[in-house]
Amino acid sequence: MIALLAGLLVLVAGTAGITTAAWHDDHAQDVFGRVPHVTAPRGPIAAVPGPARQAKVPRPVFLIIPAIGVRTRLVKLGITASGAMAVPTTTKVAGWYTKSPRPGAIGPAVIAGHVDSYHAEGVFFRLRRLRPGDQAYVVRSNGTLAVFRITLVRLYRKSRFPFQAVYGPVPYPALRLITCGGTFDYTTRSYLSNVVAFGEELTGKSVTRR
Amino acid sequence: MRLLIPRQTIRKVLIACAVSAGLLASAAPASSAPLARTGWLRLAHLSPNTPAVDVYLYSFGNPRAQVVLHHVSYGTVSPYLPAPAGTYTVAMRAAGAAASSAPVLSTAVHVKVGHAYTVAGMGPKAGLRLVVLDDQLTAPSGHSMVRVIQASMREHQVTVRSKTHLFGRNLIFATATPFESLPRGSYLVHADGSTEAASDQVALRSGTIHTLVVLDNSGHLKLVDLTDAVGAKTLPTVAPATGFGGTAAGAAGPSLLPWAAVISAGLLLAAIGLASLRRNRRQQAGVYTGSPPLADTAE
């Protein structure tokens, strides 16, 4: 009898706890807040390169992702002594990894940005909200656009980061957008995972104008 | 009726309960699904005396062509086309021929996810055939991968070399070498037949994959450098640190699992309690039927 009562009591407590937790979890999704209104840029869309001798692709200067309200200039990112890709010095801009192909050239163009600062949202705060089919626009130094369709957005533990899939050779012009995500480890003050969005370049006629 | 608790919350609770009722949930699956969801195909015309053709790509069993490349002439190589895994038919018809006409030539291609293929019309017109070449999509660190396709008919044998590297000796018309890895650098590549020759400065950057094609050109050979695939010049070995945690507390959210465990424990405890209660009742009931109280019969 006592066991039954105790069991029911624990059951009620558990249900109450899980309801509160789930409620809290729902609320946590609201932290993304309102997506800033960003419109797709206008401009001539670059042709997708063929296999013959590669023409010089202009430098990327701006990244625009209307679906998650991103509009940022692109800084240059090199590689650090420890073998990591450098990251932007401010959390408000994204950067293009200069050891990767330029956006619109054959290969994976890698662009990284911070998810947050110590107290606020970073430029790629909403990256994990990107969905397959969303479009990302890279404006190049000559005013032309390379337009990419997002094909996959995934979260990887840093210990299992897919270096080859992100940076390795591909036979078409691709885009990789990288930020942090998952659990934040307060002892090491770093996130335990990375969010990676994969994209492929669209030809002019397959770009959807909104 | 208006619900005070959001429907999503209820759904989550129900799911969590279902999980807890099932007691121990299996471990979450590792993220190992393949990243590439297609393979890639490109089409090439490498037969010197064959006039321009229309190249059709069919998904096996589907009579409607997925892609038609019109008026593909000798020396043309298409960009890679993404192709979901499966079997395809590549067919060549004379340029301008009706799509319903019988193809001059066709072949089946089996495309695997994450693999790339070049389907090339090769050989002389009289012995034209469609060759499926497996293309390479990885290069060792600091290196480039290179192969040579010998598509010159006027020079039946061609030797392709640089000062430091022999790409192939006496390569026979309509053949391809396997890929080999070369240290990154700029190579002055010579293609030499018995009378004709060509040379080209080829930049082999690390993480790139190239196909060098020897072609007939008016009066001399021509060496074409095709970029098959490109990766980053330097692959980082450490995942990037792109966050400072300012939004982490909200983003992480409390876990539902401990509460699921509490519910499981409650269910278990209640079940045990119920079982023992029933057992007790049954035992007591047994006593009553065996010897009914005297007071009842006395009335």
Q: What is the pLDDT of residue A208?
A: 74
Mean pLDDT of the B71-95 span: 94
pLDDT tens per residue, range B154-186? 999 999 999 999 999 999 999 999 999 999 999
Is residue B137 within 8 Å of B117, Cβ to Cβ?
no
Question: What percent of chain B has pLDDT above 70?
Answer: 78
Residues making up chain A, counted from first to last: 210
Dihedral angle at the C-alpha atoms of A188, A190, A191, A197, nearest 10 degrees? -150
Number of other CB atoms surrounding residue A18 within 10 Å: 26
pTM score: 0.76
Does A55 touch chain B if contact means CB atoms closer than 8 Å? Answer: no
A 131-150 → B contacts, CB under 8 A: none
pLDDT class of B118 with cuts at 50, 70, 90: very high
- From the list B224, B240, B272, the residue facing A3 with the nearest CB is B272
Contact list in A for residue B42 (CB cut-off 8 A) is 51, 171
- Three-state DSSP at A3 gives helix
- Alpha carbon distances (Å) from A99 to A108, A169, A178, B62: 10, 12, 15, 42
Helix-helix angle B7-21:A2-29, to 10 degrees: 130
Q: Is the pLDDT of residue A68 over 80?
A: yes
CB contact under 8 A, B262 and A10: yes
Contact B242 A167 (CB under 8 A): no
Nearest CA in chain A to B262: A14
Using the predicted structure, report yes or no on whether residue B26 has a pLDDT greater than 50: no
Cα distance from B197 to chain A (closest Cα, Å)?
20
Using the beta-carbon criterion (under 8 Å), do B259 and A114 form an inter-chain contact? no
CA distance B289 to B114: 76
Annotate A125-143 with b (16+ C-beta within 10 A) or e (fewer). Answer: bbbbebeeebbbbbbbeee
Higher pLDDT, A198 or B256: A198
CB A85 within 8 A of CB A77: yes
Which tokens is B226 given?
């095709």
Tens-place pLDDT, residues B261-294: 777 777 877 777 777 777 777 676 554 444 444 4
Q: Which residue has the tokens 């130094």?
A: A141
Tell me phi and psi for residue A191, to 5 degrees: -75, 150
Q: Please, which pLDDT band fits residue B27 given cuts at 50, 70 and 90?
A: very low
Extended beta strands in chain B, E state: 39-46, 53-59, 67-72, 81-83, 86-94, 105-111, 116-122, 129-135, 143-151, 157-161, 166-172, 175-176, 180-183, 185-192, 197-204, 208-217, 220-230
pLDDT per position as a tens digit, A8-27: 676 666 666 666 555 555 44
CB A162 within 8 Å of CB A194: no
Confidence of residue A45 (pLDDT cuts 50, 70, 90): confident
Task: Work out the burial of residue B288: count CB atoms within 10 Å of its CB; fewer than 13 is exposed, 13-18 middle, 19 or more buried.
Answer: exposed
Q: State residue A13 phi and psi, 5-degree precision.
A: -60, -45
Terminal CA-CA length for chain B = 55
DSSP SS3 for A47: coil
- Look up the ipTM and state it: 0.82
User: Is the CB of A121 inside 8 Å of chain B's CB atoms?
Assistant: yes
Query: How many contacts (CB atoms, under 8 Å) link A and B?
Result: 278
> How many other C-beta atoms lie within 10 A of the C-beta of residue B185?
15
Given a contact cutoff of 8 angstroms between Cβ atoms, the answer to whether A160 and A172 are in contact is: no
Residue with tokens 């190992």: B32
**Whole-number Å distance between alpha carbons of B254 and A51:** 50
